[in-house]
Structure 1
């Protein structure tokens, strides 16, 4: 019985049809299972991840933070350039005021020179012949006219440059206001009490980081010669930022996929490299900002050159004016000394002439009186006895012959 039972168990009991159907069903099930696994693998590769929403939010926030911080760095640069423009306007205004004072003094000196020339024209006709003093006055007047024209040209340049700086400042202010619109939720602690060194180091790191991730162009990076700021302007706005608050780089979608490696199938290097996508942010240093900063830099450089020209023109004018004044004063002083000397000589000569006139007048009066004495009295009745020709002494003398006296002949000659 046991042998028969064992022999029965080893023999096939079910029919072949049922066995073939079962084998066909199992093969079909294995094919369905393989297709399902393949679909799940494809689904893991293509379907969104469960944390995609959080990853996208984090990536967007990081992108926003990086953009806002880069924009704040641009705002710092624009504010620095705005402060530098304001300081340049103040300096150029002071130079223009000094130039206006110098021009006013030149005009006064020119009016005084003209009055001096007109005053010397009132001399007597015999003294109107031009001399060295007149030549000095004419040379001074020509020099003052030339200085006046050159100063007016420099003043016109300064006024035009002030207008350019004013327009540049207005444009910088507008761009600064437009760039600051996205920094409302960001800390604005950029006080001037912060050390300049902290601002230099941290801002350089921020600019390098933003340039690497694509936020900033090379032209805005500190150290670039075209947009190099002065140390005085850097001291006005400083910023100190720790490493924990530095601007993070925007995330790649590939990095997100690497973090969720267990939820997707493996990809080849080339396929993975083709599928990764970089989220490029908008450029924070806009063309308008670049143009405004470039125009402000050019305007500041030109203004500095004009200020140097103004300072040189004022100094040169002072030196030449002092030299001309000294020459004119020396010439007029010599002319005055010569005039005083001639006046003194004329006064001495006039005194001597007056003395000669008095002597001649006394001599004439004496001669007239002596001539009167010689003529004698006008009437014979006024003759004294001793003056008469028939006085007793003469009559007694003429009693002898040949006793004629020459007295009568001498009187007749008078």
Structure 2
């Protein structure tokens, strides 16, 4: 009987136990190869794809030896196999996958150096952001300090003006004491307004001094904040020697997320955050204080001018009243002198009449018709009850003339005293008007030329 070839795919020769042990060995080797594949090392060189034409005999009922022979035949006919590349079979293919190895690759030192350099430069860039932010904040604080210093200068000038006004008020009070003490030193409305002006200026001076103290304290706070920012910026700058100084952040670019969350070991430390917050608060307080200073300076100048104008107007009104009284006194003094002259003439007439009524001092100077012992009168007196009234009338007329003379002398004395009083009062009013006018001129010359900036005097501040 001739030998006939039998298809191997339809025949199972080996026992199942022998087949299963072989399959388990192949699977174990496959798992080991997958775990120890060279591409897990991270190498980028091309590797040869691994294939296996192992038939999983756990599904061997559908796989035959005949398929294996067909696969071998196709392998011999595949031209790629002749070029040194294993052909793909119906078995499982190992895909080109990267995975890590359990031991470091040969380029570990270079990789670690690259990672370190990247971290260092990333940290430096973050530090440069923080340092630029600190520098910008220093610039803001410096500008705010300059503005506050300018406001402090204005405040000092206004305060100096207030002190000068207080001194002028003192000179005004002392100047008004040079008025005549007899009639013009009584307290009037001008003295009361001078006291009110002094109280007003003293209160304004006290308020400005308090504001000036707050300004000096705020300037110290800004200076301390600037120094702290510079210290933090200098400390941050210690790691920026290898970076270029012409970066975008140094030119005012917006900061990134590096300034959001502080990190003790990062670029933005809690100390930097604290210093930035303190500087922002100091700048806000300084801006609020500057607005308060502007408002206070405007109010102070308005109140200062109002007090000065009120006192000047009161003094001018007092001068006008004094001049009006002086004019009335002058008119009345002239009328009084006219009355004195008239009364003097009347007194002279009465005195002449009284002297004439008394007659001559020597009886030999009497005329015959004036003598009371003339013959006609003696003859008439021989009868009882025939007394003439000539003697009694002469006596009564002399008494009346004497009384008129005394009354006229008293009236003349009163007119002379009144005229003298009017003259003295007139001189006092003239001196008082001159003193008040000198005080007003002094106030206008000294107070209106205040050492205050023109922008403040014009009300444009």
Query: In 2, Cα distance between the equivalents of 1:46 and 1:69?
Result: 35
Q: Which residue number corresponds to residue 140 of structure 1?
A: 197
- Match in the other structure for 2:235: 178
Q: How far apart, in 2, do the equivalents of 1:37 and 1:378 lie?
A: 177
Q: 2:329 aligned with 1:346, yes or no?
A: yes
Match of 1:66 in 2: 122
Once the two structures are superposed, the pairs formed by residues 11-410 of structure 1 within 5 Å of their partners are: 44=41, 45-120=101-176, 124=181, 127-189=184-246, 203-204=253-254, 207-208=255-256, 211=257, 216-218=258-260, 282-368=265-351, 389=368
Equivalent residues of 1:121, 1:128 under 8 A apart:
yes
Deviation at 1:316, TM superposition (A): 0.8
Q: Deviations over 1:117-144 (max 9, x none)?
A: 4544565365555433333223222222
Deviation, structure 1 residue 334? 1.7
TM-score by length of 1: 0.60
* Pair 43,115 (structure 1): closer, same or farther in 2 beyond 3 Å: same
Task: Assess if the C-alpha contact under 8 Å between 2:229 and 2:276 holds in 1.
Answer: yes
8 Å contact from structure 1 (residues 67, 281) kept in 2: no
Q: CA distance change for structure 1 residues 133 and 37 in 2, over 3 Å: closer, same or farther?
A: closer
Q: Give me the CA root mean square deviation.
A: 4.1
State how far apart, in whole Å, the 1-side matches of 2:201 and 2:268 are: 51
Alignment coverage as a number of residue pairs: 297
- The alpha carbon displacement at 1:40 in A equals 7.6
Give SS of 1:46's match: coil
Structure 2 spans left out of the alignment, 5+ residues: 1-24, 42-100, 381-387, 399-461
Q: 1:363 to 1:40 in 2, by over 3 A?
A: same
For each residue in 1:235-271, what CA deviation from the matched residue of structure 2 results, as whole angstroms up to 9, or x when unmatched? xxxxxxxxxxxxxxxxxxxxxxxxxxxxxxxxxxxxx
Greater radius of gyration (CA): 2
1:33–1:323: structure 2 CA closer, same or farther, 3 Å change rule?
A: closer
Cα distance in 2, alignment partners of residues 63 and 42 from structure 1: 27
Q: CA deviation at 1:365?
A: 3.9
**Are the equivalent residues in 2 in contact too, given 1:75–1:180 (CA < 8 A)?**
yes
Cα deviation digits, residues 10-60 of structure 1 (max 9, x gap): xxxxxxxxxxxxxxxxxx9xx999989977859940222233222222222
Larger relative contact order (Cα-Cα within 8 Å, sequence gap ≥ 6): 1
Cα shift readout 1:320-365 (whole Å, capped 9, x = no counterpart): 2222222222222222211111111111111211222223234434
